[in-house]
Amino acid sequence: MSVSTAAAARTVCAPLPVLGRDVTVPLVTGGEVTYAALDYAASAPALRRVWDDVAAYAPYYGSVHRGAGYLSQLSTDLFENARRTVTEFLDCRPDDQLVFTRSTTDSLNLLARALPAGCQVFVFETEHHASLLPWQDARVTYLNAPRTPRQAVETLERALADRDPHGPALVCVTGASNVTGELWPVRELAAAAHAHGARIVLDAAQLAPHHPVSVQELGVDWVAFSGHKLYAPFGAGVLAGRADWLVAADPYLAGGGASRKVTRREDGGVDVEWHESAARHEAGSPNVIGAYSIASACKALTEAGFDSLVAREEYLISKVRAGLAEVPQVKVLSLFGDDAPRVGVISFVVEGWNSSHFAAALSAEYGIGVRDGLFCAHPLVRTLLGSDPQTQGECGAPDAAPGEKSLNAIRVSFGAGTPDEHVERFVNAVRELVSEGARWQYRTEDGRCVPAV
């Protein structure tokens, strides 16, 4: 990024207002400091706009779809308008369906339940567990980690060329890695999938908060993401895309809302006629606040403009990467290399440090919240660290004592609500910890490194 672009990113696009910006936390060394939330890849803070919209609606909350009262009708309209808003945000095709779920994990498990018989699934080992694991009941082909975007496409093309050409197939791929932040060649992978008669689902959990996601431009068949990563942490997610597999499948959950008609049979059983709309997979009382919050976040990001949001984030990325590059003991993890485009997610290890110890010191001594562990992407992190694939590890909970060698890394992540000061404090803290060491003693408790009291 040029100097002029960096300046524009700082001045034209200020951080979006988020909750928690003024929260102070105690330091083990004494005093308090404003908390630097740099774990956006796990859960982003709520946008102030989202919180205000939810608060304004809360007094009018009512049952959805099955109530005659005014508040029920208002809540139903709000829920269905949220569906339309998110559909527009994703630039879906006119006949696509959008199902509100609990999360990306829930969305992909729903799709896994809707796979046609005999469907073969292709997934790279680099995926988050949410998109790596739901396909256990299908015929799964796990693809090795590519080292360039072009290699990713070539690897998929070879695998698809060898598949049974007469059966259904699905490719599952991330849009942006939750470990390296690197952008994947989604459009090219979608083209390769379709050229071989396969469909493709995009895990956009890490992509949607940072870049526009167009189902039509990318050419994907489905997209899944979570509200809690899109500045709407109210327990909702989205699966949007082609309706045919979803309509042909039994409901993800059986119950009220999914059923259109239920009758008793003479033999004592029941016959059920299921909805063919998105309601088929939204049994039970829907999370109207969660759906509304996602729609609110979609509006806020659209109005802010992704061009300016991306420009400012690229400035923050360059600032963090330049700062880490000045510390020889720091190794940044990457599949595609330093020049690969990426979102605000950076993972690294520090020579001579257990990553849990380092992350604990950042929190306790500097008031900086990052993530350490394997980030629910065990095969990818092990590949990046060059470890034995059979090495045991626990997501986010390394059991090695401070100073001992353990299989884990540190992840810093940020986004539209991150102020410059947070990343500047982080870079300075890394320098100080590496050069001067921790100022406090730490111990292991329940698999976590914590300050010794």
The pLDDT value given to residue 325: 98
Q: Is the pLDDT of residue 5 over 70?
A: no
172 is catalytic: no
Give per-residue pLDDT as tens, 393-449: 433 334 444 444 567 899 999 999 999 999 999 999 999 999 999 999 999 888 789
The pLDDT value given to residue 406: 62
Q: Is the pLDDT of residue 3 over 80?
A: no
Could you write out the three-class secondary structure of the chain?
CCHHHHHHHHHCCCCCCECCCCCEEECCCCCEEECEECECCCCCCCEHHHHHHHHHHHHHCCCCCCCCCHHHHHHHHHHHHHHHHHHHHCCCCCCCEEEEECCHHHHHHHHHHCCCCCCEEEEECCCCHHHHCCCCCCEEEEECCCCCHHHHHHHHHHHHHCCCCCCCEEEEEECECCCCCEECCHHHHHHHHHHCCCEEEEECCCCCCCCCCCHHHHCCCEEEEEHHHCCCCCCCEEEEECCHHHHHCCCCCCCCCCEEEEEECCCCCEEEEECCCHHHHCCCCCCHHHHHHHHHHHHHHHHHCHHHHHHHHHHHHHHHHHHHHCCCCEEECCCCCCCCCECCEEEEEECCCCHHHHHHHHHHHHCEECEEECCCCHHHHHHHHCCCCCCCCCCCCCCCCCCCCCCCEEEEECCCCCCHHHHHHHHHHHHHHHHHCCCCCEEEECCEEEECC
- Quick one: pLDDT band at residue 186, thresholds 50, 70, 90? very high
Range in 6-10, 327-331, 360-364 the model is least confident about? 6-10
Give per-residue pLDDT as tens, 269-314: 999 999 999 999 998 999 999 999 999 999 999 999 999 999 999 9
Over residues 335-351, the mean pLDDT reads 96
Give per-residue pLDDT as tens, 199-234: 999 999 999 999 999 999 999 999 999 999 999 999
pTM here is 0.93
Give per-residue pLDDT as tens, 323-337: 999 999 999 999 999
**Out of 13, 92, 298, 376, which one is annotated catalytic?**
376
Q: Is the pLDDT of residue 344 over 70?
A: yes
The pLDDT value given to residue 20: 94
